[in-house]
Structure 1
Amino acid sequence: MSLFSAPTKSTTPSSILKKTPSLKSTLNRSLKVNTPTKVRFILPHSKKVRHILKDYIKHGNAKDYENLVCLIRDAELFDDDISSLLKEATECISIMKQELRLFVEALLSVDWIERNENVVKEYQSFIANLVAAHNYHADFVINKLVTLFFPPLTDPEWENGTPSKTDILKCQHVHSLLCELLRTVPLCNELLIHALIDHFPYMNKSTHIHEYYIQNLLWVICYQPTLRPNILHLIFSKLIIMDVSAPREEIAKLEEEEIFMMDESKTNTTINLDCVHSMAHTLDVCLDKVFNYIYSECHEPGTNDLNWGKTKSLYQDILTVFDQSILPTYNTHHVQFVMFVLCSFKTTLTEAFFNYLWKKVCNPNVASVIRQAAVNYIVSFIARATFVPLTMLKGTLQQMAEWIHSYIATQDGLECVNSDLRLHSVFYTVCQALFYVISFRHKDLVNTKKNVVFLESLNLAKIVTSRLNPLRVCQPAVVQNFAAITRKYQLAYCYSIIEHNSRNTLPTVYRDEKGFVTVSSNVLEACYPFDPFVLSRSSAKVHPFYRDYKEVSFEVNDSEMREIGDVDDFLENDFNSKTQKFSYGTSPGFKFKG
């Protein structure tokens, strides 16, 4: 019996002497054909599959073997066909070694996840037995299963990120088989990680492809928690790439101005911004899934009570990802909020996170750029998180002030102090951080006499008048706000120093050992990682615990104006009204207005 059988209208062969049809008639006939003829699967006679495979292995009879492979791969298979084929193939598992790789690959190409329950179970049982018997096929099996983590190209995006019942059922079939393979064949754990990395969709793929794939990665964690550190590292390493490719400023501009309809002269700009917006949407959907996973993992189902054991374990895994991938990456905008969301569950986590960052700041063996980043994470977190208690805020400020005074003491002992920004970058960053937090959270720090006394104990005047002159290199917006607040509460007087610095500001030219020349303005670059979160969907997990900057007004009377004039003549133009306003800017955090 032939391995192929296709339906035909007539079994009479055409004569070779028959007149060749014209091109016109051929075209007309081809237009009437709507669908190609499909090959109908007919299984060889009982035991024939085993015979074909053995004949190929022992005698090299490739014709029947190749026909069988093509039949499985190309024929239209129904549930009964697959069931019969699996029964035949199961009897041949013992001989399915490397020589029968094509036959195994053909079986793995069968569309099985949408079949009836019996076929699905038979297929899962066959694959599990095959891999257990021959580890050689494990790599291809795992890769084939991971390809099922992608949706059909025509599938729409999930509504509110919730998988459909159909997609859940299909994915359950795949994960049930994967779970069995990981349990019985330890080699599959390493193979799965490599497959997940290799198949992760490129960042320009559609949002639905990314949400489908990441959802499956999170499902893998549920039944194989030992892979969680690797999978979380993979997810965040990809999200970081999206994040740095979708700047906060451009996202906000798109959402506020709705500039999708532009005139023809700005066509190129429209395309670029639209790409950024699309990537931001993908990032938003993926981050929302990660945030949902974190919340569900840390809380008991139904009661929403915090499971402290699971929370501590997840914190350690995510902190490792933060240390390896997020902290060293410059100019991320949203991915780092994973620490913000996680720490909002319990104050103990916030304290542990601050301690981790502060140890990096104080460690001279850590690269200065990482130490600076750690400082910025601390101050931005304290400024923005509503769940940070006042005691923790004051304790952190005291730590910073003590470190600054200790650093100043070591420099004051030297005969000559070199106030080069490159040499003292960490010191200046900590100073700016201190000024920033006091300016941002001053309402909480001056509401009682006890808190004002605490600020006085920081000895801010000694910091601003030190020989290293931190006001010279800190961001002007931060300096102006800090100067206004410290003058208001008589903590320090900065305006004479600001005036002196403004009159002695010149760019510095540096030449390295290779002869390259760089020009520096000698002003710190301010980067506050927890500036406003502008993604729409995932922001629901952030905004309940987020503090926006509120404009503050200081009433300035005539006597204070004269006092300021005595100290700083150049500021008279800045105080041309009786109200000094502070408004928020995304970076460096403040924008001074007269």
Structure 2
Amino acid sequence: MSLFSAPTKSTPSSILKKTPSIKSTLNRSLKNTTPSKVRFTLPHAKKVQSILRDYIDKSNAKEYENLVCLIRDAELLDEDISSLLKEATECISIMKEDLRLFVEAILLINWVDRNKSVVKEYQLFIANLISAHNYHAECVINKLVSLFIPASTDPEWENGSPSKVDYKKCQNVHALIIELLRVAPLCKDLLMQALVDQFPYMNKGTHVHEYFIQNVLWVLYYQPNLRPDILHLIFSKLIVMDVNAPREEITKLQDDDDIFMMEDDAKSSATLNLDSIAHTLDVCLDKMFNYVYSECHEAGTTRLNWSKTKLLYHDLLTTFDKVILPTYNTHHVQFVMFVLCSFKTTLVEGFFNFLWKKVCNPNVPSVLRQAAVNYVVSFMARATFIPLSMLKGTLQQMADWIHAYIATQDGLECVNSDLRIHVVFYTVCQALFYVVAFRHKDLVNTKKNVVFLESLNLSKIVTSRLNPLRVCQPAVVQNFAAITRKYQLAYCYSVIEHNSRNSMPTVYRDDKGYISISNNVLEAFYPFDPYVLQRSAAKVHPFYRNYKEINLDISDVDMKEIADVDDFLEHELPLTSKSKFSYGTSPGFKFKA
């Protein structure tokens, strides 16, 4: 039956009236605005086509406006949508730019959760429309991508898995996008742009983000060529959440049982916002970790698909290089590389080589070279899946680089030990000291390993004219000194005592005359410090090494023990104190002069 067929026999009136369908509403509207002889009761009267042609000819705009308003505002039944689509399909040839409002009205129809026949009719109509008129492609794609955002009242998915209803709705949208990509290749660029434009801002609800990201990941199954761009998009958004939800603040939230009893409304609002951002980041990273695992393994098994893993590794490494590595003060997003590399040692080797090339390249900005060093050492310290041979090989590589750098300075009559000039050298030294202290149990368990540590010639490094112990973080220096003294690898305490007597801040003046004061101590940034998000932590903790308490009897410097605290560099410890080996409370590699 046509949308505009004659109404059926009327029934007795009732106080419980149904919402009028589009057929009856449109017929009343047309009856009131047109002569009685223009009533359309025949199924094939092609009334829609007549209205659209009259509008194009500028002979009657009012009926066109009524039609658009009806489609946009009326409560449409399945039969209404079906009839409208059938008649609109006959008019596709004339649906050019002039009929943009009519097309936009059809796009506003809620079709994704209708019966199968209506869904198929809608998909067919849109596909035919775009095939005939590319002009409408941008509007159509934007509307379809907007369906990747759920209603604000929708609840979160249980365990991050879509409900059957949501899965069906999303499946209908993606089926239409796939068809549009087939009939109009230009839709590929439009799709990517729409994903960028409509990605939710970080203060949107958790479910909005998980719904959108899930749909974006589904796009990759039929458009794998978009993966580098999509990964770049997702992580550039997640990293904004990450820097706005510091590890220390999240830990405080988790430890404070009375967080919602705060009297200060402003603080309470800020705390709730932080909690929301952290929860959203947690859910989204859990989804990304799941994607990485499923993409690298055979369906339903733990067997690694090496060819797919290599492709994903290269795409993620590109994203890491462009988005994560240059970003200051990240805490959790970088663990995507940690999780991926846990699948195979070869990936760790490739990741280290990539980072070390940056360290050795003088054309790379020093801040990125510092970051690269810290990623290497933090990874080595924390990952349980790194073999000892790789650990020793990387330490040897770092020591060789340090000794080569020292050799270039020894040839000079006067050495400028300005931290700003040699910042990469000092960062590599601190990294070496950090790993030796953190992983010393694995490096002194056999005579062969002790001989290896002796071959690094650590004593020459600490006594060099550049004096790296002067600028390294005090907690690193204290623990490194304790370890090297116990195993007679180097004697640092005379150098430390000398530095403590000659420690003064330095005043710098830049080219514009601005004055800054530096305490001449490196900042500490260990990107793989403890992962504190709760849901996604399940993907990280099985491969993660926590620092274990050690006891060193060093009475002459009053260092009785090194406690098990996982928040390094919280305090600058005096030489004669209980030294806490606490890793990472001064996140960030950005050097402050």
Same fold (TM over 0.5): yes
Can you list the C-alpha shifts for 1:171-206, whole angstroms capped at 9, x where unaligned? 000000011111221110110111111111111111
Query: Counterparts of 1:263 and 1:328 in 2: how far apart (Å)?
Result: 37
Can you list the C-alpha shifts for 1:284-321, whole angstroms capped at 9, x where unaligned? 00000011011001100122210001100011111111
Indicate the SS of the match to 1:509. strand
Q: 1:589: how far off? A: 8.6
Query: Counterparts of 1:454 and 1:588 in 2: how far apart (Å)?
Result: 28
**Counterpart AA for 1:458:** L
The one of 542, 549, 561 equivalent to 1:580 is: 561
Q: 1:261: how far off? A: 3.6
1:51 to 1:6, Cα distance in 2 relative to 1, 3 A? closer
1:100 alignment counterpart: 99
Query: Counterparts of 2:343 and 2:59 in 1: how far apart (Å)?
Result: 65
2:514 is the counterpart of 1:516: yes
Could you tell me which runs of 5 or more consecutive residues in structure 2 were left unpaired when the two chains were aligned: 28-39, 580-593
1:25 alignment counterpart: none
Matches within 5 A, 1:17-96: 40-42=22-24, 45=40, 46-96=45-95
The one of 338, 353, 356 equivalent to 1:355 is: 353
Contact residue 4 and residue 47 of structure 2 kept, 8 A: no
Contact residue 3 and residue 23 of structure 2 kept, 8 A: no
1:122 to 1:138, Cα distance in 2 relative to 1, 3 A? same
1:15 alignment counterpart: none
Contact residue 583 and residue 591 of structure 1 kept, 8 A: no
Query: Counterparts of 2:509 and 2:428 in 1: how far apart (Å)?
Result: 26
2:36 alignment counterpart: none
1:406 alignment counterpart: 404
Can you list the C-alpha shifts for 1:529-585, whole angstroms capped at 9, x where unaligned? 0000000000000000000000101234xxxx4xx4xxxxxx3xx34xxx3224334
2:315 is the counterpart of 1:317: yes
Matches within 5 A, 1:294-333: 294-333=292-331
1:227 alignment counterpart: 226
Query: Counterparts of 1:373 and 1:458 in 2: how far apart (Å)?
Result: 23
1:326 to 1:5, Cα distance in 2 relative to 1, 3 A? farther
Indicate the SS of the match to 1:301. coil
Query: Counterparts of 2:85 and 2:299 in 1: how far apart (Å)?
Result: 40
Query: Counterparts of 1:395 and 1:273 in 2: how far apart (Å)?
Result: 45
**Counterpart AA for 2:68:** V
Contact residue 242 and residue 280 of structure 1 kept, 8 A: yes
Contact residue 585 and residue 591 of structure 1 kept, 8 A: no
Query: Counterparts of 2:477 and 2:571 in 1: how far apart (Å)?
Result: 10
Contact residue 56 and residue 98 of structure 2 kept, 8 A: yes
Choose 377-386 or 58-67, whichever is displaced more.
58-67
Contact residue 5 and residue 39 of structure 1 kept, 8 A: no
Q: Where do 4+ consecutive residues of structure 1 move more than 6 Å?
A: 1-7, 33-37, 589-592
Contact residue 554 and residue 581 of structure 1 kept, 8 A: yes
Can you list the C-alpha shifts for 1:104-134, whole angstroms capped at 9, x where unaligned? 1111111100110000001001101111111
Query: Counterparts of 1:442 and 1:113 in 2: how far apart (Å)?
Result: 60
Contact residue 21 and residue 76 of structure 2 kept, 8 A: no
1:168 to 1:200, Cα distance in 2 relative to 1, 3 A? same
Matches within 5 A, 1:419-568: 419-556=417-554, 561=555, 564=556
Query: Counterparts of 1:119 and 1:77 in 2: how far apart (Å)?
Result: 12
Q: 1:36: how far off? A: 11
Contact residue 4 and residue 39 of structure 1 kept, 8 A: no
Matches within 5 A, 1:88-167: 88-167=87-166
Contact residue 3 and residue 84 of structure 2 kept, 8 A: no
Contact residue 262 and residue 268 of structure 2 kept, 8 A: no
Indicate the SS of the match to 1:554. coil
1:30 alignment counterpart: none
Query: Counterparts of 1:118 and 1:2 in 2: how far apart (Å)?
Result: 16
1:51 to 1:295, Cα distance in 2 relative to 1, 3 A? same
1:568 alignment counterpart: none
Query: Counterparts of 2:160 and 2:48 in 1: how far apart (Å)?
Result: 45
Can you list the C-alpha shifts for 1:394-430, whole angstroms capped at 9, x where unaligned? 0000000000000000001011100000000000000
1:173 to 1:550, Cα distance in 2 relative to 1, 3 A? same
Query: Counterparts of 2:325 and 2:444 in 1: how far apart (Å)?
Result: 32
Could you tell me which runs of 5 or more consecutive residues in structure 1 were left unpaired when the two chains were aligned: 11-32, 565-570
1:38 to 1:250, Cα distance in 2 relative to 1, 3 A? farther
Q: 1:263: how far off? A: 4.7
Indicate the SS of the match to 1:72. helix
1:5 to 1:242, Cα distance in 2 relative to 1, 3 A? farther
Q: 1:37: how far off? A: 6.5
Contact residue 83 and residue 122 of structure 1 kept, 8 A: yes
1:364 alignment counterpart: 362
Contact residue 39 and residue 74 of structure 1 kept, 8 A: no
Query: Counterparts of 1:500 and 1:330 in 2: how far apart (Å)?
Result: 33
**Counterpart AA for 2:505:** P
1:416 to 1:68, Cα distance in 2 relative to 1, 3 A? same
Indicate the SS of the match to 1:552. coil
Q: 1:74: how far off? A: 1.3
Contact residue 41 and residue 71 of structure 1 kept, 8 A: no
Indicate the SS of the match to 1:332. coil
Contact residue 4 and residue 71 of structure 1 kept, 8 A: no
Contact residue 527 and residue 588 of structure 1 kept, 8 A: no
Indicate the SS of the match to 2:156. coil
Contact residue 182 and residue 188 of structure 1 kept, 8 A: yes
Query: Counterparts of 1:443 and 1:353 in 2: how far apart (Å)?
Result: 25
**Counterpart AA for 1:580:** E
Query: Counterparts of 2:108 and 2:305 in 1: how far apart (Å)?
Result: 42
The two structures have a TM-score, normalised by structure 2, of 0.90
Q: 1:51: how far off? A: 1.2
Can you list the C-alpha shifts for 1:212-247, whole angstroms capped at 9, x where unaligned? 111100111111111111111111000000000001
Can you list the C-alpha shifts for 1:116-155, whole angstroms capped at 9, x where unaligned? 0000001001101111111100000000001111112221
Contact residue 5 and residue 40 of structure 1 kept, 8 A: no
Q: 1:4: how far off? A: 13
Q: 1:75: how far off? A: 1.4
1:98 to 1:470, Cα distance in 2 relative to 1, 3 A? same
The two structures have a TM-score, normalised by structure 1, of 0.90
Contact residue 112 and residue 119 of structure 1 kept, 8 A: yes
Query: Counterparts of 2:240 and 2:282 in 1: how far apart (Å)?
Result: 13
Contact residue 291 and residue 338 of structure 1 kept, 8 A: yes
Can you list the C-alpha shifts for 1:443-500, whole angstroms capped at 9, x where unaligned? 0000000000000000000000000000000000000000000000000000000000
1:281 alignment counterpart: 279
Contact residue 209 and residue 284 of structure 2 kept, 8 A: yes
Query: Counterparts of 1:400 and 1:360 in 2: how far apart (Å)?
Result: 13
2:233 is the counterpart of 1:203: no
Contact residue 123 and residue 176 of structure 2 kept, 8 A: yes
Contact residue 19 and residue 75 of structure 2 kept, 8 A: no
**Counterpart AA for 1:153:** S
Q: How many residues align?
A: 554
Q: 1:61: how far off? A: 1.9
Choose 169-178 or 60-69, whichever is displaced more.
60-69
**Counterpart AA for 1:423:** I
Q: 1:56: how far off? A: 1.4
Q: 1:38: how far off? A: 5.5
Q: 1:591: how far off? A: 8.4
**Counterpart AA for 1:587:** F
Cα RMSD (Å): 2.3
Indicate the SS of the match to 1:553. coil
